[in-house]
Amino acid sequence: MGEAIFLILALILGITVLFNLGPIIVLTITLSLAYVAFRQYKKARTTGKKMLWLILCGVFLIASVTNAPAVVGLAAAAILYLLYKNRKEKKDSAGINGNGDDPFVHFEKEWRELSRSYRPNEF
């Protein structure tokens, strides 16, 4: 039952990320352009250039605010990553049998017991 719920949830989150991939890309571009404009604003020496870069920074920030669906896509991607990471940790700690009993953990002990009980000259 847990496998099915995990698979359905992963499928829904994956589709959400794929549908919001365009807004995520546009959000990344607009935020990076706003960052560049802000850096140019800090470097500008004249008032005219400072006003120009500040206006451009505002335009890019407004453009990035209009990409609100990208936040939903980013949240879905983060949840999908956390589910995958949690699932992988559970599988790693479960061992080979799936119940935590890994037969290879105490290999040396088992090998000694087998070599004591095995006698090659006896048939």
In SS3 terms, 27-71 reads as HHHHHHHHHHHHHHHHHCCCHHHHHHHHHHHHHHHHHHHCCCHHH
Asked if residue 122 is part of any domain, the answer here is no
Asked if residue 93 is part of any domain, the answer here is yes
The helix-helix angle for 21-43 and 69-94 (nearest 10°) equals 110
Asked if residue 11 is part of any domain, the answer here is yes
Find the helix or strand (DSSP H, E) in which 24 lies: helix 21-43
- Give tens-digit pLDDT for 8-63: 888 999 998 999 999 999 999 999 999 999 999 999 999 999 999 999 999 999 99
Asked if residue 9 is part of any domain, the answer here is yes
Q: Which domain holds residue 110?
A: 2-117
3-class DSSP assignment, residue 118:
coil
| pTM of the predicted protein model | 0.64
Number of domains making up the chain:
1
Asked if residue 87 is part of any domain, the answer here is yes
